């Protein structure tokens, strides 16, 4: 089974690991031209969303033998435009990225609660504003945190927050009990939950159902001391409404790693919004253990092809 590895992350390591499995022949594509050439007679591809453009989508649609698409990323967003063909197995690497993304989310949450952006602004002007800052400082302890999306990232974020003793409620596809949170609520409960939360951590994938899930109307339900962190997809929030809420002081702050348009345009008003941490979609990066986890996800998914009754040719 020929697999094209087209990735800036752990490509050589994935190639070696896949070639160690019976029935697999992996080749690394150094650039898009090489990837497109290999796709024509390949049966699988390992690729991050960032490299899955229209050319790749078109090539995969036209390829006759593709049976497996593995995303070296936590999402599968390109398939919304270029759906996988019948019988094609789709896997991703959410478990590999989750620990670092969750770490980034909690770091931003703590930074905003502790007014780090404001402190950095004060440092730039050598202003000692102790009395002004004191009433704005917040603690995660005893706060109510709502996690939107309770997959691998949401669960890891809940685990990381535990030592700070917040009250954590999650929202998932279905309501259920879970040991990491007070409970997992269904999507239909969001409106009732928003008025009581102190912070939101969003880790939702991109889909028609999640686009602008946090609309202007829902943002208006939040108390004005609420803090928002988004490490999922930018389109989860109505960005214009979120920006207005920040600038007008209707929410207390935010930490954003994802945006409706990336790179964030230079004229976007988020650049100057108050008490806001902006990071350029890097929440998952942290090489020390990431590459090993990415390889493990790819290999586990490859082995699963045989378990699903589709042994490699």
- Would you name the residues annotated as active-site residues? 233, 262, 281
On whether the CB atoms of residues 189 and 197 are closer than 8 A, the answer is no
Q: How many CB atoms lie within 10 A of CB 278?
A: 16
* Locus of tokens 């698409």: 69
Give the C-alpha separation, 257 to 232, whole Å.
8
- Residue 277 CB neighbour total at 10 angstroms: 18
**Whether 210 contacts 80, CB under 8 Å:** no
Our CA dihedral for 108, 112, 118, 121, rounded to 10 degrees, sits at 10
To 10 degrees, what angle do helices 287-307 and 11-19 make? 30
DSSP 211-245: TTSB-HHHHTTS-TT-EEEE-S-GGGB-HHHHHHH
Q: What SS3 class is residue 309?
A: coil
Residue 227 in tokens: 């803090």
- Per-residue CA distances from 66 to 7, 37, 75, 87, 275 (Å): 18, 14, 19, 9, 47
Two tokens, residue 260: 């409706």
């Amino acid at each position: 089974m020929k697999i094209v590895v087209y990735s800036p992350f752990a490509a050589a390591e994935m190639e070696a690991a896949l070639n160690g499995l019976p029935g697999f022949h992996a080749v690394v594509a150094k650039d898009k031209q090489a990837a497109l050439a290999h796709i024509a007679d390949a049966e699988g591809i390992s690729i991050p969303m960032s490299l899955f453009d229209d050319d790749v989508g078109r090539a995969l649609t036209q390829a006759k033998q593709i049976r497996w698409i593995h995303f070296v990323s936590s999402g599968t967003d390109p398939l919304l435009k270029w759906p996988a063909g019948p019988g094609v197995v789709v896997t991703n690497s959410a478990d590999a990225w989750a620990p670092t993304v969750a770490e980034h989310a909690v770091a931003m949450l703590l930074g905003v609660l502790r007014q780090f952006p404001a402190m950095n602004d004060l440092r730039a002007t050598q202003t000692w504003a102790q009395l002004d800052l004191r009433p704005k400082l917040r603690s995660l302890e005893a706060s109510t945190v709502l996690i939107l999306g309770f997959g691998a990232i949401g669960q890891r974020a809940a685990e990381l927050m535990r030592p700070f003793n917040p009250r954590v409620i999650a929202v998932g596809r279905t309501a259920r009990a879970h040991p990491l949170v007070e409970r997992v609520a269904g999507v239909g409960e969001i409106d009732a939950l928003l008025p009581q939360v102190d912070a939101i951590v969003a880790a939702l994938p991109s889909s028609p159902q999640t686009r602008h899930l946090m609309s202007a109307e829902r943002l208006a339900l939040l108390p004005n001391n609420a803090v928002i962190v988004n490490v999922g997809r930018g389109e989860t929030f109505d960005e214009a409404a979120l920006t207005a809420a920040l600038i007008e002081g209707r929410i207390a702050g935010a930490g954003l790693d994802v945006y409706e348009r990336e790179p964030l345009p230079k004229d976007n008003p988020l650049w100057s919004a108050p008490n806001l941490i902006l990071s350029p979609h890097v929440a998952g990066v942290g090489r020390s253990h990431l590459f090993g986890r990415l390889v493990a996800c790819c290999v586990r998914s490859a082995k699963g092809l045989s378990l699903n009754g589709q042994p490699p040719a």
